[in-house]
A = this chain, B = another copy of it.
Amino acid sequence: MSSERNVTPPQFNPITGAIRALAMDAVQKANSGHPGAPMGMAEIAEVLWRHHLKHNPANPKWADRDRFVLSNGHGSMLIYALLHLTGYDLSIDDLKNFRQLHSKTPGHPEYGYAPGIETTTGPLGQGITNAVGMALAEKVLADEFNRPGHAIVDHRTWVFLGDGCLMEGISHEACSLAGTWGLGKLTAFYDDNDISIDGHVDGWFTDDTPKRFEAYGWQVIRDVQGHDPVAIEAAIAQAKANTAQPTLICCKTIIGAGAPNKQGGHDVHGAALGDAEIAATREHIGWHHPPFEIPAEVYAAWNAREAGASAEAEWNARLKTYRAAHPELAAEFERRMSGKLPSDWTAHVDAVLAQVTDKAETIATRKASQKSIEAFAPRLPELIGGSADLAGSNLTLWSGARGVTREHGGNYVYYGVREFGMAAIANGLSLHGGLIPYTATFLMFSEYARNALRMAALMKIRQVFVFTHDSIGLGEDGPTHQPVEQIATLRFIPNMDVWRPCDTTESTVAWACAIERADGPSSLCFSRQNLAFQPRSAAQVAAIRHGGYVLSEAGNAERGEAPHAVILATGSEVALAMEAQAKLAEVGTFVRVVSMPSTNVFDRQEAAYKASVLPARVPRVAIEAGVTDFWRKYVGLEGAVIGIDRFGESAPAGQLFKEFGITSDAVVDAVRTLVG
The answer to whether B479 and A489 touch across the interface, beta carbons within 8 angstroms, is: no
The answer to whether B101 and A655 touch across the interface, beta carbons within 8 angstroms, is: yes
A residues 1-59 near B (Cβ < 8 Å) are 30, 32-33
Contact of A120 among B123, B170, B480 (CB under 8 A): B480
Contacts of A420 in B (CB 8 A): 169
Contacts of A33 in B (CB 8 A): 476
A residues 450-504 near B (Cβ < 8 Å) are 450-451, 454-455, 457-458, 475-481, 484-485, 488-489, 492-495
A161 to B254, CA, bound (A): 39
A504 to B493, CA, bound (A): 30
Contacts of A391 in B (CB 8 A): 197-198
A323 to B203, CA, bound (A): 35
Determine, out of A578-586, A590-598, A630-638, the stretch whose residues face the partner at the interface: A630-638
The answer to whether A495 and B107 touch across the interface, beta carbons within 8 angstroms, is: no
A33 to B102, CA, bound (A): 54
Given contacts A417-B163, A420-B169, A651-B99, A393 and B197 within 8 Å (CB-CB):
yes
Contacts of A415 in B (CB 8 A): 204
The answer to whether B167 and A198 touch across the interface, beta carbons within 8 angstroms, is: no
Contact of A122 among B165, B208, B481 (CB under 8 A): B481
Contacts of A196 in B (CB 8 A): 389, 416-417
A196 — nearest CB in chain B belongs to which residue? Answer: B389
A176 within 8 A of partner (CB): yes
A residues 88-125 near B (Cβ < 8 Å) are 99-103, 106-108, 110, 120-125
The answer to whether B173 and A647 touch across the interface, beta carbons within 8 angstroms, is: no
The answer to whether A650 and B99 touch across the interface, beta carbons within 8 angstroms, is: yes
Bitwise, A377-406 to B at CB < 8 A (1) or not (0) is 000000000010111110000000001010
CB distance from A222 to the nearest CB of B (A): 13
A211 within 8 A of partner (CB): yes
Determine, out of A132-140, A148-156, A212-220, A427-435, the stretch whose residues face the partner at the interface: A212-220
A673 within 8 A of partner (CB): no
A614 — nearest CB in chain B belongs to which residue? Answer: B637
The answer to whether B110 and A650 touch across the interface, beta carbons within 8 angstroms, is: yes
CB distance from A136 to the nearest CB of B (A): 13
Q: 14 other contacts beyond A123-B480, A164-B417, A637-B637, with CB at 8 A cut-off?
A: A32-B476, A99-B651, A106-B478, A107-B481, A108-B481, A167-B389, A168-B448, A179-B206, A198-B414, A211-B215, A212-B216, A444-B451, A458-B479, A495-B646
- The 28 sampled A-B contact pairs (Cβ below 8 Å) are A30-B476, A74-B477, A99-B651, A100-B651, A101-B659, A106-B476, A106-B478, A106-B649, A107-B477, A108-B478, A123-B448, A165-B417, A168-B417, A168-B418, A180-B203, A180-B206, A196-B416, A197-B390, A203-B414, A207-B215, A212-B215, A444-B451, A448-B450, A448-B451, A485-B489, A492-B629, A492-B630, A494-B627
